[in-house]
A = this chain, B = another copy of it.
């Protein structure tokens, strides 16, 4: 018998399809990309726009972190093939059922390292800290900018996760409107708070720590769970223990703690499942929102091991062919402690 599980934060139902369920081992990547170690690739590619030495192939950085030697460690450059750009008007126009506005906002690339042949799972923790601080710097850079109603920071790792560039990078898109999906989540969190006086994410985190069944790891400031109603196999949420609605509020101390946690999560995927393609996204409050009691930022990591099909398109629901409790056990057992 399958099971329907509701994510209490988003109120979205997920089908946990036990009849179609695979064993965690079955998701292990078997093609060449899974077997190859990224470190074995060359550290520099002459045609890669993100490699150190090829700076002329990208636009001028808007944020740049330099090492003691004066060379850049992490930087943010405008995307040459941008979906949104800072130029244009915020004015909306309407004629009948036609409503539009200029594609105004930001679409930047965060180049995560000067070398080509690495990925977050393999980087020194110090490098991951710099990336996390650059994410924060972007939020703070646009904190008064009306073109950035919602900042979405995300990473596409691998071809089926939507990237064709190997060089480690993440992206930021700042939209001039609040996407409907994000608004619905905010509304659901408000309703829960109205009912209970409590943050649904804080309650979820505490329940999961009490039940222990879906906790992949825990650090001083963060908890990593496979959500009870995970939408995909091995989905993970990295939740800060201290309530805060926006990533922009993250402290240096929290960054120092988050960096090894993020690295370990991704290393568990890399070593446990053979470098699967994945996306992650930081879910955070809209720019104009203060530190509200009902919303809680987190990072959602989604390995791309299955395909969304007509059912997902037609319903917005997901079918997960893996049991979150099994995924948790599997991920816990991938030993990455020695790598940190």
Min CB–CB distance A165 → chain B (angstroms): 12
Cβ B182 vs Cβ A315 within 8 A: yes
Contact of A175 among B156, B179, B279, B317 (CB under 8 A): B317
Which one of A12-20, A66-74, A260-268 is at the B interface?
A12-20
Once A310-B156, A314-B281 are accepted as A-B contacts, the answer to whether A319 and B83 lie under 8 Å apart by CB is yes
Q: Is the Cβ of A302 less than 8 Å from the Cβ of B308?
A: no
Distance of A200 from chain B, by nearest CB (Å): 7
A102 to B2, CA, bound (A): 6
Instruction: Assign chain A's interface to a size class.
Output: 35 or more
Bound: A60/B143 CA distance, A: 61
CB neighbours (8 Å) of A1 from chain B are 85, 87-88, 102-103
In the complex, chain A residues 52-77 whose Cβ is within 8 Å of any chain B Cβ? none
User: Assuming the A-B contacts A81-B20, A179-B317, A180-B11, are A311 and B154 also in contact, with contact meaning beta carbons closer than 8 angstroms in the complex?
Assistant: yes
Which residues of B lie under 8 Å from residue A104 when comparing CB positions? Answer: 4
Cβ-based interface call for A176 (8 A)? yes
Chain B residues closer than 8 Å to A9, beta-carbon distance: 97
- Is B8 a contact of A99 with CB atoms below 8 Å? yes
B-side contacts of A176, CB under 8 Å: 4
Indicate whether A207 reaches chain B with its CB closer than 8 angstroms. yes
Residue of B nearest to A228 (CB): B98
User: Is A251 engaged at the interface, CB distance under 8 Å to the other chain?
Assistant: no
> In the complex, what residues of B have CB within 8 A of residue A122's CB?
none
Complex interface: chain B residues within 8 A of A307 (CB): 160-162
Contact B313 A175 (CB under 8 A): no
> Does A5 make an interface contact (CB < 8 A)?
yes
Question: Max chain B CB contacts within 10 Å: which of A162, A200, A207, A302?
Answer: A162
Q: Is B310 within 8 A of A162, CB to CB?
A: yes
A3 at the interface (CB under 8 A from B): yes
A197 in contact (CB, < 8 A): no
The answer on a CB contact under 8 Å between A171 and B203 is no
CA distance A154 to B175 in the complex (A): 31
Task: Give residues in A with beta carbon < 8 Å to B.
Answer: 1-6, 8-13, 15-20, 81-85, 87-88, 96-104, 150, 152-156, 160-163, 170-171, 173, 175-177, 179-182, 184, 200, 203-204, 207, 211, 228, 279-283, 300, 302, 307-311, 313-317, 319
* Besides the known contacts A3-B102, A4-B177, A162-B308, 17 further A-B residue pairs in the complex with CB atoms under 8 A apart: A1-B85, A1-B102, A3-B100, A4-B104, A5-B98, A8-B97, A8-B98, A12-B179, A15-B83, A97-B228, A150-B315, A161-B307, A170-B310, A179-B316, A181-B315, A279-B313, A281-B310
